[in-house]
Amino acid sequence: MFLEYRFNKAIEKLAAQARFPLQVKLWNGRNVMLAPNPTVTIEIPDASALRFFVPPDLNKLGEAFVEGHIRAEGSIHELFRFAGELCRGVAATTSAGFRFLRHSRARDRKAIQYHYDVSNEFYSLFLDRRMVYSCAYYRDEADPLDEAQAQKLDHILTKLRVKPGDSFLDIGCGWGALIVRAAQKYGARARGVTLSKNQFEYVRDLIRAEGLEDRCTVELRDYRDLPETEPFDRIASVGMFEHVGLKQLPGYFGKICALLKDDGLVLNHGITSSDVESRETENGAGAFIDRYVFPDGEVPHLSLALREMAAAGFEVVDVESLRRHYARTCHEWADRLESNRARAIQTAGEKRFRIWGIYLAGCAYAFAEGWINVYQALACKAQHPAGRESPLPLTRDYMYL
C-alpha cells in the first residue's frame, strides 16, 4: 500500500507538470491516463514492480524495462521522454559521483568485446551501409544517414589534411569505414587497430574486397602496444576515448603524442560530460549504461580532455561540438532498430533488443537535452622548432571547401 501511495503521488505530480500521450495500466485493472489519445502504454503487471518507480531513476526504470518487470508499447522516444521527465520532476536531486575505474588491458579488452562483439549483423540493422558507429555530420536537415556518415568521414579527413602517401592511424577503427575512406579517396596508407574480434575480421575482409591490401591494414591490437619507432603523419581516434577512463587520459594522450610525427596532426572525436567536474551522469543513466551497454565507460568534461591534451604536448587548434548531430544520429539509429525489430530479436534476443532500443533512444534524449556532448578536437604538437612551419594554414577555411 505504501508503494502504491507513493507511486500515485509521483504520477499525479508529473501529470500536473506536463501532459504526456501516455497511459499506465496497473495489475488491479486501473488505467491512469496522463493525456487524451495516448500513444504510449506502460503496463505494470504486479504491485512489486512499483519499487522501480519509488523513487524513480533511469537505472531502475531501465532495469524494469529490460528485465521484463514492466511492459511498454509505442514510441521508444516518448517512453524515454516520460522516464526522463519522471526522474527530473519527481525524484530527489542527487549529486553524480566519481567512478575512477581501473583500466587494465584485460579488463578493457573484455569491455570492448562485450559492447561490440554482439554480432555484425545486429549492428547492421541500425547503422548506415558503411557501418559507421559514431556521430554523423548533417550538412542539411534532409540528409539521409548514409550521406551524413560519409560527410563525417570526409569532415575528419579534411580537418586532418590527409593527402596521398600520408601514414594514417585510426585508433579503435570500428568496422573500418574511416581507414577505407582515407585510402580510397585520399590516397593515404591507412592502418586501423581494434580490440573487437568481430570488427577485426569484418575490416580484414572489407579491405580484401575493396582491393586495398597495398594501402590499408587492420590489427587486433591494443593501441598501447603500437611501436613508437614508426610515427604517423595523421592520427584519428573516433568514439574510442570514452573507453579509456579518466585517470588514464594522460597515458592515452601521451601515447598518441609519441605515435605522431613532429609535423603531424591528430583529431580526437569523443563524447564528453556536461558536468565540469567530469562526474557520472545524474538520474542513474550512467549506472544503467555501465551495467547493460558500455562497461567501464567514463566521459570527461571537455575542459579535462583539453587540459590532458596540452599536458601531453599538444597544441589544440580547433574544437567543434557535434551535439545536435549526435542527437539526430541516435534518434535515427533507434528508429532503424525498431523498424528491424523481428530480425534484431532473432539475431540478438529479446532482452538485448530492449537494452539497445532504450539505450539509443536515451542517448538521443541526452544529447538533445545537453546532458552530454561530443567534440572533435584537432591538435598538433606544441613544440615548433625554428624553421619548421605549422602543419595548418592560418584559417579554418580549408575545412569547408
CATH number at residue 6: 3.30.1050.10
Phi, psi of 372, deg, nearest 5:
-135, 165
Same domain for 171 and 84, yes or no, is no
DSSP secondary structure letter of residue 187: -
Q: Residue 372 corresponds to which cell in the numbers above?
A: 552530454
Q: Which string of b and e fits 170-196 if b means at least 16 CB within 10 Å?
A: bbbbbbbbbbbbbbeebebbbbbbbbb
Q: How far apart are CA 279 and CA 273, in angstroms?
A: 7
Q: How far apart are CA 215 and CA 227, in angstroms?
A: 19
Query: pLDDT at position 102, please?
Result: 56
Query: pLDDT at position 93, please?
Result: 45
Query: pLDDT at position 95, please?
Result: 45
- Of 64, 90, 116, the last residue of a domain is 90
Same domain for 23 and 71, yes or no, is yes
Same domain for 374 and 344, yes or no, is yes
Q: Is residue 99 part of a domain?
A: no
* Distances, alpha carbon 312 to alpha carbons 97, 243, 381, in Å: 26, 18, 9
Query: pLDDT at position 205, please?
Result: 98
Same domain for 193 and 45, yes or no, is no
Same domain for 15 and 120, yes or no, is no
Tell me if the pTM is above 0.75: yes
Closest to 354 measured CA to CA, from 346, 345, 363, 342: 345
Name residues of the chain where pLDDT drops below 70: 1-2, 14-15, 17-19, 89-117, 281-282, 384-388
Closest to 288 measured CA to CA, from 14, 23, 28, 59: 59
Domain count, the chain: 2
Same domain for 141 and 60, yes or no, is no
Q: Is residue 272 part of a domain?
A: yes
Q: Is residue 96 part of a domain?
A: no
Q: How far apart are CA 382 and CA 401, in angstroms?
A: 26
Q: Is residue 278 part of a domain?
A: yes
Same domain for 128 and 44, yes or no, is no
Catalytic residue positions?
363
Q: For residue 174, what are the domain limits?
A: 105-400
The CATH number that applies at residue 177 is 3.40.50.150
DSSP code per residue over 32-50: EESSSS-SEEEEE-SGGGG
Q: Is residue 137 part of a domain?
A: yes
- Of 90, 117, 150, the last residue of a domain is 90
Same domain for 191 and 111, yes or no, is yes
Burial category of 142 from C-beta neighbours within 10 Å (exposed 0-12, middle 13-18, buried 19 and up):
exposed
Q: Is residue 100 part of a domain?
A: no
Q: Is residue 120 part of a domain?
A: yes
Same domain for 269 and 351, yes or no, is yes
- Of 90, 125, 149, the last residue of a domain is 90
Same domain for 339 and 252, yes or no, is yes
Same domain for 14 and 114, yes or no, is no
Query: pLDDT at position 94, please?
Result: 46
Same domain for 17 and 159, yes or no, is no
Q: How far apart are CA 375 and CA 16, in angstroms?
A: 37
Q: Is residue 324 part of a domain?
A: yes
Could you report how far apart the first and last alpha carbons of the chain are, in Å?
65
